[in-house]
């Protein structure tokens, strides 16, 4: 027999006798290897999704911690501001009371001094009183 480059016998592929079987075997091998790739990609996608979920959960937890801290700081600042407002109110009341006391003392001193001058110079005080009354009367009658 002449060697034509074709294999015969049990080790040769069955292309000549059953071409459908060979094509079917070839497509099944391709599907099996493609199925492995799809499975691998699916597993990787699940791993990535789990990692993204974990990262999102951690980000949410950190945001909650930061929000809690911000709320605490805001509460502390509001409390401090309230204490400062109370202190300012107390200080203003103290200054007002001091000013009123000083004004009252000054008025009492002025009345005492005026009373002392009238007793010391009664006639001059009478003339000053008449002159002031005359001037007030003229000022009000022209209006």
Higher pLDDT, 111 or 25: 111
pLDDT at 143: 57
Which segment of 10-14, 120-124, 130-134 scores lowest on mean pLDDT? 10-14
Distance from C-alpha of 77 to C-alpha of 85, rounded to nearest angstrom: 12
Q: What is the pTM of this model?
A: 0.41
Give the sign of the dihedral formed by CA 5, CA 8, CA 11, CA 14: positive
Angle formed by the axes of helices 122-142 and 19-120, to 10°? Answer: 130
Number of H helices, E strands in the chain: 2, 0
Read off the pLDDT of residues 56-81 as tens digits, 9 standing for 90 and up: 889 999 999 999 999 999 999 999 99
Between 18 and 74, where is the model more confident?
74
Question: Burial code of 51-83, b = ≥16 C-beta within 10 A, e = fewer?
Answer: eeeeeeeeeeeeeeeeeeeeeeeeeeeeeeeee
């Amino acid at each position: 027999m002449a060697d034509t480059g074709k294999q015969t016998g049990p080790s040769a592929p069955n292309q000549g006798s059953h071409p459908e079987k060979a094509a079917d075997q070839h497509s099944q091998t391709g599907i099996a290897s493609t199925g492995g790739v799809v499975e691998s990609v699916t597993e990787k996608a699940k791993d990535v999704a789990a990692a993204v979920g974990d990262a999102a959960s951690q980000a949410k937890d950190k945001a909650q911690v930061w929000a809690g801290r911000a709320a605490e700081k805001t509460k502390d600042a509001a409390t401090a501001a309230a204490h400062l407002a109370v202190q300012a109110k107390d200080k203003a009341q103290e200054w007002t009371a001091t000013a009123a006391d000083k004004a009252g003392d000054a008025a009492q001193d002025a009345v005492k001094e005026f009373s002392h001058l009238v007793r010391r110079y009664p006639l001059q005080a009478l003339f000053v009183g008449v002159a002031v009354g005359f001037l007030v009367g003229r000022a009000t009658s022209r209006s």
